[in-house]
Amino acid sequence: MRLKFSQFLVALLMIGTLMLTGCSTGQSSSNASPTSTANPNAAETNNQTTTETKQVAETTTQATTPANTSESIPGMKDLPRLEGKATVVMTVKGAPITIEVDGTNAPITAGNFVDLVNKGVYDGLMFHRVIRDPQPFVAQGGDPQSKNTSVAVNRLGTGSYVDPKTNAIRYIPLEIKPQGEASPIYSKTFEMAGVTKPPELKHKQGAIAMARSQMPDSASSQFYFALADLAFLDGNYAVFGYVTQGFDLVNKIQQGDRIDSAKVTQGLENLK
C-alpha cells in the first residue's frame, strides 16, 4: 500500500509540474535545466513569450467548439498532413534511432513532424531536457534555438518553429484519437472533452510525442521520447509514433547531446 501511494505521489508531481511550467509562458527562465528539487519532471517545455502566448490563446479560443472535427480548427487545411505511415531515422552521436511515425492515427501531428524532418529543422538541435530521476521520464528536444550555441541554456525549451514563408510560428492543435473512434479529438484533452476511452496511441516506453505549454494548441517543433510507460500522460499529450529500433540508444541520450541528422527514409509520399 505504501509503495502504491508513493508511486501515485510521483505521478501527481509529474502532472502538476507539467501544468505549472505550462502556466509560466512568458517566463523564459522557468524551464531551465531540470533539477531534482525545483522542476524534476517536465515534458512540456515549449513556453512562449508573452506575445506568442497571446497568439496561441486567440487560436485556442477560436478552436474550442466544436473540438472533435478537423474542420473546426482555424488554419487546419494549411498544415502538413501524413496520410499513412512514415519512417524517420534520427542519428544521435553517430547512432541511428528508427521511428515509425503514425499518420493514420495522428495525421496532423505526424505530418508536422515529418515535414520538419524533411526540411532539416531538427539537424543539429539539442536534447535540452533529459529526466531519469527519481524515475525514467523523458528525453526532450526540438527547440530550434538550440542550434545556435550562443543562446543561453536557460532559454532552451522556449522556442518554436518559425515558418520562413510566413515569418510566423507554426502551431499545431492537440490531436489525440480515442481507441476505436474514426477520428481524433482536437484542441481538448480527454478530460476536457469528457472522453473515457484510452487513446489509440499510448505513452508506452519508446513513444514519441509533442511537448506543449498548458494551452492545448501550443505544440510546434519540440518533441519527447518516453523513457518508460507514462500512462498518466495519455489523453493529455499527443503521441504520434514509436521507436522501432534503437531504443537502447535513446536510453543513452544525455542532456546536451545533439541530433546529427534526421531523415525520412520511407513514406515521404504520404506527406500532403
Q: Is pLDDT above 60 for 270?
A: yes
Measure the CA–CA gap between 200 and 222, rounded to whole angstroms. Answer: 21
Q: Which three cell numbers stand for residue 216?
A: 492545448
Contacts of 257 (CB under 8 A, 6+ apart): 92, 93, 126, 127, 130
55 pLDDT tier (thresholds 50, 70, 90)? very low
Q: How many domains does the chain have?
A: 1
Chain length of the chain: 272
Query: Which H/E stretch holds residue 99?
Result: strand 95-102
Given a contact cutoff of 8 angstroms between Cβ atoms, the answer to whether 202 and 234 are in contact is yes
User: Which DSSP letter does residue 28 get?
Assistant: G
- pLDDT of 50 reads 35
- Residue among 247, 232, 225 at smallest CA distance from 199: 232
Proportion of the chain above pLDDT 90, given as a percent = 69
Per-residue pLDDT tens over the stretch 65-116: 344 555 556 678 899 999 999 999 999 999 999 999 999 999 999 999 999 9
Residue 169: domain span: 2-270
Per-residue pLDDT tens over the stretch 141-198: 999 999 999 998 889 999 999 999 999 999 999 999 999 999 999 999 999 999 999 9
| Reported pTM | 0.80
- CATH code at position 159: 2.40.100.10
**What number of CA atoms fall less than 13 Å from residue 102's CA on the CB side?**
20
Q: Is pLDDT above 60 for 42?
A: no
Measure the CA–CA gap between 58 and 55, rounded to whole angstroms. Answer: 5
Measure the CA–CA gap between 55 and 52, rounded to whole angstroms. Answer: 5
Sheet with strand 95-102: strands edge to edge: 127-131, 138-141, 223-226, 207-210, 239-245, 95-102, 85-92, 259-266
Q: Is pLDDT above 60 for 247?
A: yes
